[in-house]
Structure 1
Amino acid sequence: METGMNLRIDKIVFLLAILGLSTTGAAKAADCPPIGSLPNYIGEPKPTLHNHNTSDFKVKRGEETENISVAGKKCFQAYRLKDDAQAMSDIEIQTNYREQVKKLGGQILFADEHNMTGKIVKGAQETWVAVYNEERLIEVTVVDKAAFKPSLLPPSGSDYRLAGRMPKFVADPPVKRNFDKVAFKIHDGDDTREVQVAGARHSVAYRAANPREGASPLEVQENYKATFLAAGGQVVFSEPNLIVMRLEDKGQSIWVSVYAEESLIELTAIEEKPFQSSVQPPTASALKTALDKDGRVSLYINFDFNKAALKPDAAPIIEQVVKLLKDNPALKLEIGGHTDNIGGRDYNVKLSGSRAGSVVSALAAQGIDAKRLNAAGYGPDKPVTTNDTDEGRAKNRRVELVKS
């Protein structure tokens, strides 16, 4: 008997909602447009707004339910029942919101006792709506689907010289050190490890001027990633709140980490000090002595970051190798390229091979018969020391001459 009565009450509530006797009204300042709110349910003075974020929406596919991740401009608002006000039933709350989505021209993609997913399409704009409720609580999420658009401001004031700040964020006084050491996380295959990097440090924290109008960690990461990728860098680690990038600027190897919460951003940059052992190029006679003794000798030749192009300061070393080969016309060499272990192995093997090829081309351009030379790329497979320090990584990034 009680079940039948509840069914009749539910039907009455549904009819009342269709008749508009307790429907959500037009969106107000505290709401997430175009979705309004119910009487006696009070939201925060302002909803939480993100210019770019993602949210998962439940969608019914036949008998199955799946989550669809939608990215774009996101709004979230939670409503709580007024003190001493009478709560609505779950079905009354859900029916009101479902009917509003339909009146806005949308469709319901998922519905159960406590949840609803709706999608509204107006021209090229696609808006996704999720409503979760209990009798005394309603949570509304709205995402206007859109592609990411960079919004990072140009560097100024307390900012690091290569990256600005997010709009509506204020910088704390920066921490600057002429020489310091910081541990950076990197991906190593399926594992994660830390590497110690030493050099000049610039750290700065940013705080949202209004915590409810900050930026999602995703938006922060996408902005800084776009900036450093455009400068020729690469991402060596990423997780929901942290991204680590590595790049080279004017011959300087630079590491940058960006940690982000919705109203807090922490950026740390280390500009590695140049490795000293490669400053003086070896002479042709010293190269010959090392080859006669060990059958191989390491050269520290500078290339453009993540590229195979030789830097101008490689010319004196190339000149000595040319002299070595001209003074010893019977000598044949393998030119072996080697890298540290930062980044993917396959990528590093390919890069090291290309760099070895660039050295062969430079020697051939100065009259050395290419048949006397063989280029090979070993990537990170043959380190001469640890990769856990900046000094060790600098030694491992080398070109080896090996007697054929």
Structure 2
Amino acid sequence: MRTFTLRVSLLLLLTTGTAFALDEPGQDLPFLGRYPGSIIDSYKTAHYDEVIIPLGILGQKGFTKSETVEGQVTYIRYKVPEDRSPLEFIRNYQQALQRAGFHVLWQCTDHGCRTPDADVAATLWRGAPTRYTGGAEIFNFENGRMLSAEHRATDGVRTIVFINDNTLFGHSQDASVYAVQTKPMQNGMISSDTGPLTRESMAGALIQQGRFAMHLPFDFKQATLRPDAQPTLTALSQLMEQHPSLRIRLEGHTDQVGSAIYNRKLSLSRALAVKSALIAHGIVEQRIEVTGLGATRPIAGNDTDAGRAQNRRVEVVDLSPGNIARLRPTNTTITPTTTQVPTMNSTPITE
């Protein structure tokens, strides 16, 4: 995804009272400013992806309660002034979010954020440019706070924010801000109606959207791939050979004909069949995750043959963003659709 240099005029520096760096890798959220004196250390935005939003404490196997939210994503990591505590930082953000019409879904403090056997790291967004492998987010439970909040516009669009503020190793304070605005994925970017997908079109879709759909020919109500599926599978295997760091998830989908249990089983079997075909082409098994979603995520109506045919698909999702040389799409921002959301005051609120 595109990052860009934010250059702030002297007039803005003087009028806001906030010390912005002249060459930061990104910008504040349009509806939520920064704590005064903070500097953007890392930034990334994606047009469409999924993020795990914590709604409960961190346990040994991840968060005890969470929600996976899909939509437009922005990640910002701030360096916070060392003379400001996580309490003051989070409380100011909570006040600003509530003034903007958000309500707090969950928050925690220090050791109350975890179980005794919890790890100190978890991955919320694989695409996040954190300092750790796989986009892992570090949670320091000695002096840290977390906050999840939600805004619902009148048209149903949700904007969800998660903030994690830690004092690392007793001195350096980092704050990570994740924001997701729910929106439908842009479909129809690739079609196999005019012929097999090519390696180039697959790469372009992963660059632009992070995923694409394959409408592969299977035997009726079976997970057996027909021979005319091979050109598409060959193209995908060639793409993965060309980019050896690329990891993918295969998501199986069906129409709504049949029971939910049957459809989920069939969708998983078909995704596994694609995985087996890729392995047969020499792709290492560990680079491919598989899931079956049945009829839970239709992209067309199920009341016509054409719509049901569109819903029967295997989607390829990029789990390692950045491994394919990226184009430069126009930067997008997250803005609640129908409500004017104010920014934070430039002066901290103390209690």
| TM-score normalised by the chain length of structure 1 | 0.36
| TM-score normalised by the chain length of structure 2 | 0.41
Which protein is richer in strand relative to its size?
1
Say which one has the larger Rg. Answer: 1
